[in-house]
C-alpha cells in the first residue's frame, strides 16, 4: 500500500464518520485533508495523521474522542495491522509487512514517474534565473543560480506545474556600448576605454572581430563600434549557452531585452511605450518634475519610481515593467525571479510593479535572493582576470559535485565550499555518498542476475527486517519531499533526503542479502529483496535527476 492508497482509504473512513452528523461537511472533505507523515520514532508506526484534530470541530467532538471513533473503521482497511491514538488525537498506523512492502513494487513499476505529484497542477509559472549580461563569461555567482534555478525548475515540473525556464539577455543599454568599445579597442590594438571590460577574452574577441571584419580600422568609429559590439555579443552569448549546457542547464526561452526597445512599425511604439500606457491606464502613472513616474508606494515600495526621465530617456525600471507585462501576456500567471545578493533593492520594486500592473504582489510574483558563494582555493580566471569562471569551476570540481553541492543548501544562506572534500571519493563527500549508493544498487542487481535471482516473484510479507521497514518508509517519503521542495521553492530538500535514503540503503545492504549465501537455494525472499533494491536505485536516480546530477551505474 502506498501513501496515496492509504490516504484514500482513510478519507473513506473519515467521510463516513462525519456524514453521520453533517452530510454537507462530509461532502466537502478531500484527500488533501488527510495529512500523512512518517513518525520520527519507528515505534509509533509507519504513518501518523492529524485528520481527527482537523475535522473534530466539524462534528462537535473533542479531537481524541473523534479519533477513538475512527479507530474501528481504520482497522478494517486491508493492510492495516495496528492503529493507536496518541496525544490530543493523532492516529498512528502500522501496516502489515505485505501492505508496507507493496510500495517497492509500485516504485519499480512507476519508474521515472515515481515522485511526480500534482501539488502544483494548474499553475503556470515563468522561472527566470542567471540572466547574465552577454559581455563576459559566467562567474561563480551565476554558477550558484544556474544550479539552484535548474533544480527548482525540475521539481516544479515534477509537481505538475506548467513551467518555462527563461534567461533574460541584458543586451541593451550603456554596458553593451562599452563592451563594443572594448572589443574594438582590442581589435585595433588600442588602450581600452575608461571602465571598459578587462581580461584576455576581450583580446580574443577583438582578434576574432578583426579577422571577421578586416575593414574595422577604416570604418567610421560609430559604425566600427557597432560591428564589434554585435560580433562580440554573438560570440559571448553563444559561449554562455555552451557553458550552461555543459553544466547541464537548459533554458526554454532566451528573451532579448532589445525586443522591448524595438519600435513596431505598425504602431510606432516600442513594448516599453506600450507598458507605460498600460500602467497609466491602471491609474498608477503620474507626471511630475518633467518626468513620468509610477506610484509604486501604493504597493509598499519605499519611494515612487521614475519610468521616463525629463530628457525622454526611459529608466531601467521601464524595461523591467515591459518585461514583467510580457510574461503576463504570454500566459504566465505566476512569475519567479531568482536574483543575486546585490539585488535586494529589486524585491519591493518588482512587487510594486506587479501591483501596478493589476496583479497580486503576494501571489503572482516571487523574488528569491541568493547569497554569496565562495570556494576555498578557487583562482581568478586567467581569461577574465577578475572573476572565478563557471567553466573553470566545472573543469576543476566536476559538474556533478558542483551542482549537487550548490543545490543542497538554501538559496538565502551564504556558502563556502571545500574543494578537497568535493573531490574525495569517500562517504564524507555527500555527492559521492549518494551516487555510490545508486551504483551499489546496480552492482547488487548484476550479482543477483549472475546468481539466478530475478523479479518473477514478489512476497511483500517476507520483508520483515527492521532495516527493510526503514528503507520502505524512506522510499514512501519521496513524493512528499518533491512536493515540499516545489511548494517552498527549496530544492535542497531533495538533496538532504537523498543522503538519508542512501544511509537507509547502506544499512539495509549491510544486513540483508539479495543473493543466496553459500549453498542456500534461490527463494522468494531473494526475489522480493531485489524488488526493494531496484526500488531504492530508482528513487536515488529520480532524485539525482531532479538536481541535474548523473546517477552512475559503476563507481
* pLDDT tier at 341, thresholds 50, 70, 90: confident
Q: Is residue 443 part of a domain?
A: yes
Q: Is residue 38 part of a domain?
A: yes
For 133-163, the three-class secondary structure string (H helix, E strand, C coil) is CCCCCCEHHHHHHHHHHHHHHHHHHHCCCEE
Query: Please, are residues 66 and 101 in contact by the beta-carbon 8 Å criterion?
Result: no
Angle value at C-alpha 121, between 119 and 127, nearest 5 degrees: 95
pLDDT for the residue numbered 545: 98
Whether the per-residue pLDDT at 490 is higher than 90: the answer is yes
pLDDT for the residue numbered 115: 97
Q: Is residue 128 part of a domain?
A: no
Q: Which residue has the cell 502613472?
A: 285
Distance between CA atoms of residues 337 and 19, nearest Å: 45
Least confident interval from 41-45, 108-112, 263-267: 41-45
Within 146-229, strands assigned E span 162-169
Kindly report the CATH number assigned to the domain that includes residue 480.
1.10.730.10
Kindly report the CATH number assigned to the domain that includes residue 8.
3.30.1360.70
Beta bridge partners of 329: none
pLDDT for the residue numbered 463: 95
pLDDT for the residue numbered 488: 97
Residue % of the chain over a pLDDT of 70? 100
pTM over cut 0.85: yes
Helix axes 399-407, 140-158, angle to 10 degrees: 70
Choose the final residue of a domain: 95, 128, 150.
Answer: 95
Distance between CA atoms of residues 94 and 283, nearest Å: 60
Whether the per-residue pLDDT at 233 is higher than 90: the answer is yes
Of the CA atoms within 13 Å of residue 87, those in its CB half-sphere come to 9
Q: Is residue 474 part of a domain?
A: yes
Whether the per-residue pLDDT at 325 is higher than 90: the answer is yes
CB burial class (10 A; 0-12, 13-18, 19+) of residue 396? middle
Could you tell me which residue, 543 or 198, shows the higher pLDDT? 543
Whether the per-residue pLDDT at 297 is higher than 80: the answer is yes
pLDDT for the residue numbered 101: 93
Q: Is residue 43 part of a domain?
A: yes
C-alpha cell at 342: 546585490
Whether the per-residue pLDDT at 344 is higher than 80: the answer is no
Tally of structural domains, the chain? 2
pLDDT tens, position by position, 87-102: 999 999 999 988 889 9
Average pLDDT over every residue of 189-215: 95
Could you tell me which residues come within 8 angstroms of residue 394 by beta carbon, excluding any fewer than 6 positions away?
A: 243, 246, 247, 402
Whether the per-residue pLDDT at 2 is higher than 80: the answer is no
Q: Is residue 174 part of a domain?
A: no
Average pLDDT over every residue of 278-302: 92
Whether the per-residue pLDDT at 508 is higher than 80: the answer is yes
Whether the per-residue pLDDT at 380 is higher than 80: the answer is no
CA dihedral over 464, 517, 513, 114, signed as positive or negative: negative
Query: Please, are residues 147 and 407 in contact by the beta-carbon 8 Å criterion?
Result: yes
Pairing state between β 36-37 and 47-49: antiparallel
Average pLDDT over every residue of 317-330: 95
Whether the per-residue pLDDT at 386 is higher than 80: the answer is no
Distance between CA atoms of residues 413 and 395, nearest Å: 25
pLDDT tens, position by position, 436-470: 999 999 999 999 999 999 999 999 999 999 999 99
Q: Is residue 223 part of a domain?
A: no
* pLDDT tier at 392, thresholds 50, 70, 90: very high
pLDDT for the residue numbered 546: 98
* Four-CA torsion 65, 70, 72, 75, nearest 10 degrees: -130
| Structural domain for 68, as ranges | 3-95
Residue % of the chain over a pLDDT of 90? 87
Average pLDDT over every residue of 327-349: 90
Helix axes 346-356, 316-329, angle to 10 degrees: 50
pLDDT tens, position by position, 5-18: 899 999 999 999 99
Least confident interval from 31-40, 272-281, 417-426: 31-40
CA distances from 326 to 257, 272, 288, 319, 322 (A): 11, 10, 27, 10, 6
Choose the final residue of a domain: 95, 123, 141.
Answer: 95
pLDDT for the residue numbered 5: 87
C-alpha cell at 519: 549453498
Q: Is residue 419 part of a domain?
A: no
Beta bridge partners of 415: 373
Average pLDDT over every residue of 144-153: 96
Choose the final residue of a domain: 95, 123, 142.
Answer: 95
Nearest to 372 by CA among 404, 396, 340: 340
Amino acid at each position: 500500500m502506498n501513501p496515496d492508497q492509504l490516504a484514500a482509504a482513510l478519507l473513506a473512513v473519515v467521510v463516513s464518520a462525519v456524514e453521520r452528523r453533517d452530510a454537507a461537511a462530509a461532502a466537502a472533505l478531500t484527500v488533501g485533508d488527510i495529512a500523512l507523515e512518517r513518525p520520527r520514532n519507528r515505534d509509533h508506526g509507519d504513518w501518523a495523521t492529524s485528520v481527527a484534530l482537523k475535522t473534530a470541530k466539524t462534528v462537535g467532538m473533542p479531537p481524541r474522542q473523534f479519533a477513538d471513533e475512527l479507530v474501528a473503521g481504520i482497522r478494517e482497511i486491508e493492510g492495516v495491522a495496528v492503529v493507536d491514538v496518541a496525544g490530543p488525537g493523532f492516529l498512528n498506523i502500522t501496516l502489515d509487512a505485505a501492505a508496507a512492502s507493496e510500495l517497492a513494487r509500485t516504485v519499480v513499476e512507476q519508474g521515472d514517474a515515481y515522485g511526480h505529484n500534482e501539488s502544483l497542477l494548474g499553475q503556470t509559472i515563468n522561472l527566470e534565473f542567471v540572466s547574465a549580461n552577454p559581455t563576459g563569461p559566467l562567474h561563480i555567482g551565476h554558477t550558484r543560480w544556474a544550479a539552484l534555478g535548474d533544480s527548482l525548475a525540475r521539481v516544479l515540473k515534477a509537481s505538475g506545474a506548467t513551467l518555462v525556464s527563461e534567461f533574460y539577455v541584458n543586451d541593451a543599454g550603456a554596458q553593451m556600448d562599452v563592451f563594443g568599445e572594448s572589443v574594438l579597442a582590442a581589435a585595433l590594438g588600442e588602450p581600452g576605454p575608461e571602465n571598459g571590460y578587462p581580461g584576455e577574452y576581450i583580446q580574443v574577441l577583438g582578434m576574432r572581430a578583426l579577422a571577421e571584419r578586416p575593414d574595422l580600422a577604416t570604418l567610421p568609429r560609430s559604425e566600427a563600434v557597432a560591428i564589434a559590439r554585435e560580433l562580440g555579443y554573438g560570440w559571448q552569448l553563444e559561449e554562455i549557452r555552451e557553458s550552461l549546457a555543459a553544466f547541464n542547464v537548459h533554458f526554454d526561452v532566451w528573451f532579448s531585452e532589445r525586443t522591448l526597445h524595438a519600435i513596431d512599425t505598425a504602431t510606432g511604439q516600442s513594448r516599453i511605450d506600450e507598458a507605460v500606457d498600460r500602467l497609466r491606464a491602471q491609474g498608477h502613472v503620474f507626471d511630475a518634475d518633467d518626468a513620468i513616474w509610477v506610484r509604486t508606494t501604493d504597493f509598499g515600495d519605499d519611494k515612487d519610481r521614475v519610468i521616463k526621465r525629463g530628457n525622454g530617456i526611459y529608466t531601467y525600471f521601464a524595461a523591467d515593467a515591459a518585461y514583467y507585462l510580457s510574461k503576463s501576456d504570454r500566459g504566465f500567471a505566476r512569475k519567479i525571479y531568482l536574483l543575486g545578493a546585490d539585488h535586494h533593492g529589486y524585491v519591493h520594486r518588482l512587487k510594486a510593479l506587479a501591483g501596478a500592473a493589476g496583479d497580486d504582489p503576494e501571489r503572482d510574483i516571487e523574488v528569491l535572493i541568493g547569497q554569496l558563494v565562495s570556494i576555498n582555493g578557487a583562482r581568478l580566471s586567467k581569461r577574465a582576470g577578475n572573476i572565478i569562471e563557471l567553466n573553470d569551476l566545472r573543469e576543476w570540481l566536476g559538474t556533478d559535485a558542483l551542482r549537487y553541492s550548490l543545490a543542497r543548501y538554501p538559496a538565502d544562506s551564504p556558502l563556502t565550499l571545500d574543494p578537497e572534500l568535493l573531490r574525495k571519493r569517500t562517504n564524507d563527500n555527500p555527492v559521492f555518498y549518494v551516487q555510490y549508493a545508486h551504483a551499489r544498487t546496480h552492482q547488487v542487481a548484476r550479482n543477483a542476475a549472475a546468481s539466478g535471482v530475478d523479479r518473477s516473484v514478489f512476497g511483500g510479507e517476507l520483508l520483515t527486517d527492521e532495516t527493510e521497514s526503514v528503507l520502505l518508509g524512506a522510499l514512501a517519503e519521496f513524493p512528499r519531499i518533491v512536493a515540499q521542495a516545489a511548494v517552498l521553492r527549496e530544492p535542497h530538500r531533495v538533496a538532504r533526503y537523498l543522503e538519508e535514503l542512501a544511509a537507509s540503503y547502506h544499512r539495509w545492504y549491510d544486513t540483508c542479502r539479495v543473493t543466496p549465501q553459500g549453498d542456500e537455494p534461490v527463494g522468494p525472499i531473494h526475489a522480493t529483496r531485489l524488488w526493494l533494491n531496484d526500488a531504492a536505485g530508482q528513487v536515488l536516480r529520480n532524485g539525482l535527476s531532479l538536481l541535474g546530477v548523473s546517477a552512475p551505474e559503476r563507481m
